[in-house]
Amino acid sequence: MSEVWLVRHGQTEWSRDGRHTSVTDLPLLPEGEEAARGLAPRLAGTVFDLVLTSPRQRARETARLAGFADAEVEPDLVEWAYGEHEGVTTEEIRRTVPGWTVWHGDVPGGETAEAVGARLDRVVARCRAVDGRVLLFSHGHALRVLAARWLGLPASEGRLLRLDPATVSVLGAERDEPVVLRWNA
């Protein structure tokens, strides 16, 4: 079974402020750029057989600054489509929908957890077809869903896996069972 390294993009204005960001293509903040550059020595020296990135500039720029400017764009790695919640914080949503979460709540005009999971299942299948290491640059909710699907869990169980900007996580196997090898490092 392959080993899959996950990198969440560096910080943007909206990720800093807790705003749901999918289709809004924001640049990295200066501190996000610095954190992305800091990934380069952590990833250097590791051979990756496949490197993929979300098409969003925040993920592509993180890949470039981390030393992977030639990462292949994979459309399925885009962030959860938040629909009418784009640019809105959870706190703001909960003013009208108490207890709302993206994991179990309605996302008007956006994707359900199951739809995101189905999309990321294609990425998981692509990763499992590689006999070696895969490196993915993507987004917080998308990578959490991908990890849940890697483990054979429903997409909504990504809620259990907090993921900070510009971090590295690694999925793999132990005795042929999918596991988390490292998380949010």
* Residue numbers annotated as active site: 9, 79
DSSP assignment string, 35-102:
HHHHHHHHHTT---SEEEE-SSHHHHHHHHHTT-TTPEE-GGGSPP--GGGTT-BHHHHHTTSTT--T
**Nearest CA-CA partner of 12 in 71, 87, 161, 30:** 30
